[in-house]
Amino acid sequence: MKLIVGLGNPGFKYRNTKHNMGFWVIDRIAKEKKIALTRRKFNAQWGESRYGQNKKFIIAKPLTFMNLSGQAVRKLIDYFKLRYEDILVIIDDIDLDVGTIRIKPNGTAGGHNGLASVLECVGSRDLARLRIGIKNGERAADLSGFVLTPFRKKEDFNLIKKTVHEASCAALCWLEKGIIFTMNNFNKKKEDC
């Protein structure tokens, strides 16, 4: 069994903010794979489906707010007895340009509080992560203000929609083909996945 978890903040107020890129990708996967995100347990909204030769996977959105995301992820790991290499965490990244995604097998939180919470609660840095760029120019002085606002420029929003599609393709590729294949095929700009 594998878990794809997208980080974000629950509620209408945060729905369209840059910080909810992880939620956007989970919603896209749910739509593409016709997965109902109707289960609410473990401080998360989640659903499950199958891939490959009838292997099970879960997609989830923590409902704990970003900075406490690790609590939900830990509960999902414990309940489903998941191995760290079977988990992909999807986050926004202020250091990557809009339209860019990067996937890697492990590492630090890189200043992302939601990912820091996950790594702390899990007790390991060995979780794959898919980062989605939200930087659109110079770095904002007020980072929390920046990530908690929607994209303002129409071109940014159109590019983000395309990037969410690419990120969902990358997450599903990780599911089927693993981290190395996915890194080799998605850690570069591509026109289409």
pLDDT tens digits, 32-41: 999 999 998 9
Strands 87-97 and 39-41, sheet pairing = unpaired
Instruction: Point out the residues that are catalytic.
Output: 19
DSSP 3-state of 97: strand
In a domain, 45, yes or no: yes
In a domain, 78, yes or no: yes
In a domain, 58, yes or no: yes
Question: Rounded to whole angstroms, what are the CA distances from 152 to 44, 134, 149?
Answer: 29, 12, 8
Residue 85 has pLDDT above 80, yes or no: yes
Count of structural domains, the chain: 1
Strands 39-41 and 2-6, sheet pairing = unpaired
Residue 16 has pLDDT above 80, yes or no: yes
Supply the pTM of this predicted model: 0.92
Mean pLDDT in residue range 11-35: 93
Query: What CATH number has the domain bearing residue 129?
Result: 3.40.50.1470
In a domain, 153, yes or no: yes
In a domain, 155, yes or no: yes
In a domain, 192, yes or no: no
Residue 141 has pLDDT above 80, yes or no: no
Rounded to an integer, what is the distance from CA 11 to the centroid of its chain? 17
**Residues 148, 94: Cα–Cα separation, whole Å:** 12
In a domain, 191, yes or no: no
Give the chain's mean pLDDT: 90
Question: Rounded to whole angstroms, what are the CA distances from 97 to 52, 87, 90, 151?
Answer: 33, 25, 16, 13
Domain extent, residue 170, equals 2-186
More confident residue, 28 or 40: 28
In a domain, 193, yes or no: no
